[in-house]
Structure 1
Amino acid sequence: METITLFHTNDMHSHLEYWPRIAQKLRSKKMELLDRKESVFVFDSGDAGDRIHPLTEATDGQFISELLNEAYYDIVTIGNNEGIGNTKQQLNQLYDKAKYSVVVSNIKERNTLKQPEWADEFHILTTQKGYKLGVIGCTIPLPTSYELLGWDIENPIDAIHRLIKTYKESVDGFILLSHLGIHTDREIAARFKEIAVIMGGHTHHLLPEGEQVNHTLIAGAGKFGKHVGQISLHMIGSYHFKAQARVFNAETDIPPLRGEKKRITRLNRKGKHLLQEKKIAYLQEPFEIDWQRCTNFVSFTLKMLIEKTEADLSIINSGLFLKPLLKGLVSFNDIHESLPHPMRLLTFHIKGEDLIELIHSMEEQRTRLRHLPTAGFGFRGQLFGEICYSGIQKKNDEFRVNEKLLHPNHWYKVATVDYFLYVPFFPIIEERTHPRMEYPDFLRTLVANELKENYPVPKRKERK
């Protein structure tokens, strides 16, 4: 019999308020247990990085992946923020300086169906007493986004079944790093008795004592770096194990480190400085925001969506815009603060009769959504805000598209953001269309490029 200690984090989303003390605790506990010749491993289950942090944005995520080295992680998997929060090139370089292994079992190169060079499909850990633990890592399948970026995403349950079948005779049990959400974790635990522990994320679930489902212990450490999970895995024999879970509250259970607040502030300032150095545009008039109406900032973006995608009409919500762009010089930091969301352009073709139903649905929900607090699905704002159209007009109780009567049997191309696909407010988009992501860049990058083209920064006159 052997007791193996597993530490785990998930869904930190670049929240670094308690990172210095967390990293120090993980380092010291790991070294302490190794000095006693005990088995100990440290894991992260995805969404460690989030481009809402200016230094994460300024370094294309590499700041966070390098920061994880401080905590002596052994293995991490990716969440949607790493997977679709980066272009393919950015993700291919994300872990260049990582001193830990990355395991992602359900992603392949789209063109070749080969495993990406930066990740292992499967990893075997050997304990002090010779037990072998097979580590699987699965991330939430979002095929519409992954396919645009050049990745093939496999159903995680299919991937798990395939890997257990392949390696069952080679290991004494499996560990799953899951960025799939608690409901999928429960389904997996019920189906695969070979999995000893699932360390989960994505739905930000906090399980102070874990949750036992059949032979499997499910663990989760909440969100935003506020907790660290610890699991004691007792290996009684091959595929014979017991496990207990606990969590540490980073604020109350882990002592603060001297100067940690100053360090976190310094990192934030460094990111802002790097983003401020990227000069984007010069505005003669401010671009305003107002979550209760469609401002000139919204109108500019709606027009851009149509021009970029050659759509007939465009739709977005005013709650996307968090800060105005002031008159004068605009930096990429200003754009980042205004549009921090990891969102991309999305288009779909829709039959006129379905478009009429969609618009009616939006109009019926308009008052409720205007003041509705929303979170998740990549949204980093507070309220959904006003629904704003371009290309749609209503005259005498009739809808028109670009001043022509909306015909029930005609097809129309609509441009919006992927957020509209994932939120539950507009199911018609998923049920009756075939949505397509149009650009690998985020909305804010496309807005920045459009501003640069339309409102260029004046060139400095050379002194004679």
Structure 2
Amino acid sequence: MELTGMLTSKLLMTVFLTALIACSAFGAECHAAPDGVVHLTILHTNDTHGFLTQFDTEKAYGVGGAAGRASLINEIRRSNAECGDKRYTLLLDGGDVLENNAMSNFFKGEADIEFMNLARYDAMTFGNHEFGFGMDNFMGLAKKATFPILCANVMDAKTKKHLFAPYIVKEFGGVRIAIFGLTSHTLFYNSAPADLARIEFINKDEAYAKLLPEMKEKSDYIIFLSHLGIEEDREFAKKHPEINIIIGSHSHTFLEQPEKVGDINIYQAGKYGECLGRINLTFEGKKAAAINSRLINISDRAAGELVKKYKDLLDPQINIKIGELGANLENLSKYEMKTPVFEFVLKILCEEAKTDFSMETGASITGRLEAGPIYLKNIYRLMPYNNFVITIKMSGSEIKKLIDYSISKKKTPFFVQTYGLTYEEEGGKAKNIKIKGEAVSDDKIYTVATDNYMSAGGAEDNILKNIPAERKTASEKLIRELVIEYIKKRGKF
């Protein structure tokens, strides 16, 4: 599959006509609002992860894309404006705008924020991947954003003040809307240790409780713009029934219809900008009715030109040949056994870090490498996450616990792939564990190369997380960069 989806002119016309029909079908009827009635359309996206160009899915070709999203947003805004002065539009994003796509990775989120400025977003929540290119980088992007970034549970460790605005209040036709944000604790798995030392993560319920009196005083309606994921959204809704609606993200959940917890509706629009969520609210005093629908993407000239600008800059850089591969490196069953592509990457990591063995979770590498020329774009697609090299000193007993844990996580993304370490499995436990061919001794100290995600406990284990910091050495080198440099140096494989 190519990096961007390409449509023929015939197919493009079909998509365009279908989208017009969809916009008409899902748009609110246009008639004058009675006195005391205000109509608000909330448009929402989440977990776009740098997907500004169209892409293919298992179900459809050429979906998503910034151009299609902008067209829908502009069409809905225009329709509301034409319907009178009591119809308003609010555009929100649930976070994880950056990382996981070559364009976002190359330009470190600049294109993503520039698009959101162009689309006139009203606010976004701080997601756990936003520090993927470093805290300083994102704080720079935040200054360029023409909209506020919301987060009530991340503080500046030095000043003890909120890193971002905890909430905002917007007024529409006399109705005051409070919007607050919270982010996921998985921020600790996706950020560099040096950045984590500069922030303080506080309990989400305590953070919300401190804001609530002020928000209730200043607003008529409370929207929770969440980056917690659907499971935590459900629990949060049970604890805090005074919230009116939750617009979620993080779990990449496609909610065609809102999920109801008590009187609270929870919304989420999937991932990668495949969908634009729409909520129609009609205010009559404090009461509101809501409907959410998915719409089909169409093109937008201004957004298309913006994406083309960055794509034209990107293509010459990622289409550079860096090596040659003699045979396919497959990645099937990566959640239950060693695969050739992991063997390839982890071998490089182990050799370059000069450790006894190396390891990463099964989710860290996506796809396969095909025989033939290796282009830079192949490595960016294979390794979409900005994971840093971390070397850790581990005892043999700690290693045994970790491998037992990995076995218990077979067929999940937390299954651990290794190089330089072998073992046999019996009764759900590891036996005959060897490092470089020698049996592992409980008391002996070994060195392992891994990434910041695993080191911080991202595989949902406490074994690596609880290892003291003095036994960990963090590098500023991305594993992806290490692999690219190695391939360039060796040439043929």
TM-score, length of structure 2 as denominator length = 0.71
Give 3-state SS (helix, strand or coil) of 2:104's partner.
helix
**Hey, what does 1:380 align to over in structure 2?**
none
- The equivalent of 1:462 in structure 2 is none
SS at the partner of 2:480?
Answer: helix
Tell me the equivalent position of 2:200.
Answer: 152
CA distance in structure 1 between the aligned counterparts of 2:325 and 2:273, rounded to whole angstroms: 40
Question: Quick check: 1:112 aligned with 2:159?
Answer: yes
Aligned to 1:103: 150
1:225–1:283: structure 2 CA closer, same or farther, 3 Å change rule? closer
**1:181-234 deviations in whole A, cap 9, x for unaligned?**
111111222222332121101112222231232232211112222221222334
Report if the CA contact (8 A) 1:146-1:153 is conserved. no
Partner of 2:479: 443
Query: Does the 8 A contact of 1:229 with 1:245 survive in 2?
Result: no
373, 379, 390: which one pairs with 2:420? Answer: 390
CA-to-partner distance for each residue in 1:384-422, whole Å, 9 max, x for gaps? 8x933226699xx75444666522234444332355543
Q: Of 177, 193, 211, which residue of structure 1 is paired with 2:259?
A: 211
Is contact 1:177–1:199 with CA below 8 Å preserved after alignment?
yes
Indicate conservation of the 8 Å contact 2:98/2:132, yes or no: no
1:124 aligns with 2:169: yes
1:210–1:244: 8 Å Cα contact kept in structure 2?
A: no
The match for 2:287 is 241
Change (3 A) 1:216 1:361: closer
Residue number in structure 2 paired with 1:94: 141
Structure 1 residue 45: deviation in Å?
0.8
Report how far residue 43 of structure 1 moved.
0.6
1:9 aligns to 2:58 (yes or no): no
Q: How far apart in 2 are the matches of 1:295 and 1:414?
A: 15
Q: Quick check: 2:115–2:306 contact (8 Å CA) kept in 1?
A: no
Superposed counterparts of 1:45-444, under 5 Å: 45-52=94-101, 54-82=102-130, 84-116=131-163, 119-129=164-174, 131-142=175-186, 143-146=188-191, 148=193, 149=195, 150-237=198-285, 240-251=286-297, 267-275=310-318, 289-291=329-331, 292-293=339-340, 295=343, 297-305=345-353, 307=354, 312-316=356-360, 320=365, 322=367, 332-333=376-377, 335-359=379-403, 387-390=417-420, 398-401=432-435, 405-418=439-452, 420=454, 421-423=457-459, 427=461, 429=463, 433=467, 438-439=474-475, 441-444=477-480
The separation in 1 between residues aligned to 2:210 and 2:476, in whole angstroms, is: 30
SS of residue matched to 1:86: coil
How many residues align structurally?
A: 419
What's the counterpart of residue 459 of structure 1? none
Query: What are the ranges of 5 or more consecutive residues in structure 2 without an aligned counterpart?
Result: 1-35, 55-63, 332-338, 425-430
Residues 261 and 26 of structure 1: is their aligned pair in 2 closer, same or farther, counting only changes over 3 Å? closer
The one-letter code sitting in structure 2 at the alignment partner of 1:141 is H
CA offset at residue 290 of structure 1?
Answer: 4.3
Query: Aligned to 1:320, what secondary structure does the other structure show?
Result: coil
Amino acid at match of 1:387: Q
Query: For residues 289 and 295 of structure 1, what CA distance do their matches in structure 2 show?
Result: 9
User: CA shift at 1:296, angstroms?
Assistant: 5.1
**Which segment is superposed worse, 264-273 or 64-73?**
264-273
1:260 to partner: Cα distance: 8.9
- The range that moved more, 262-271 or 107-116, is 262-271
Amino acid paired to 2:440: L
Q: How far apart, CA to CA, are the structure 1 residues paired with 2:451 and 2:224?
A: 32
Q: Secondary structure at the match of 1:314?
A: strand
- Deviation at 1:167? 3.3
The CA distance in 1 between the partners of 2:127 and 2:134, in whole Å, is: 14
Say if 2:67 is the partner of 1:20: yes
Question: What is the letter of the counterpart of residue 419 of structure 2?
Answer: Y
Structure 2 CA distance for aligned equivalents of residues 211 and 61 of structure 1:
31
Partner residue of 2:20? none
Summarize deviations over 1:220-271 as a string: whole Å, max 9, x none: 112222221222334444xx433313122325xxx55689989867754532
Q: CA deviation at 1:338?
A: 3.9
SS for the counterpart of 2:173 is coil
1:348 CA drift (Å): 4.8
In the aligned structure 2, how far is the partner of 1:410 from the partner of 1:30?
A: 65
| Aligned mates of 1:138, 1:191 — CA distance in 2 | 15
Distance 1:105 1:259, change over 3 A: closer
Mark the CA change 1:439 to 1:133 in structure 2 (over 3 Å): closer, same or farther: farther
Asked if 2 retains the 8 angstrom alpha-carbon contact of 1:80 and 1:139, the reply is: yes
TM-superposed deviation, 1:13: 2.4
Gap change, CA 1:186 and 1:321, over 3 Å in 2: closer
Tell me if structure 2 keeps the 8 A contact 1:231–1:243: no
Aligned position for 1:43: 92
Distance 1:415 1:262 in 2: 42
Q: Structure 2 counterpart of 1:414, which letter?
A: V
Whole-Å separation in 1 of the counterparts to 2:371 and 2:346: 15
What amino acid maps onto 2:176 in structure 1?
K
Relative to structure 1, the CA distance from residue 206 to residue 325 in structure 2 (aligned partners, 3 Å threshold; closer, same or farther) is closer
Q: What CA distance in whole angstroms lies between the structure 2 residues aligned with 1:64 and 1:285?
A: 33
Preserved contact between residue 357 and residue 447 of structure 2 (Cα < 8 Å): yes
SS of 2:200's partner is strand
- Secondary structure, in 3 states, of the residue corresponding to 1:123? strand
CA contact (8 A) 2:343 2:418 kept: no
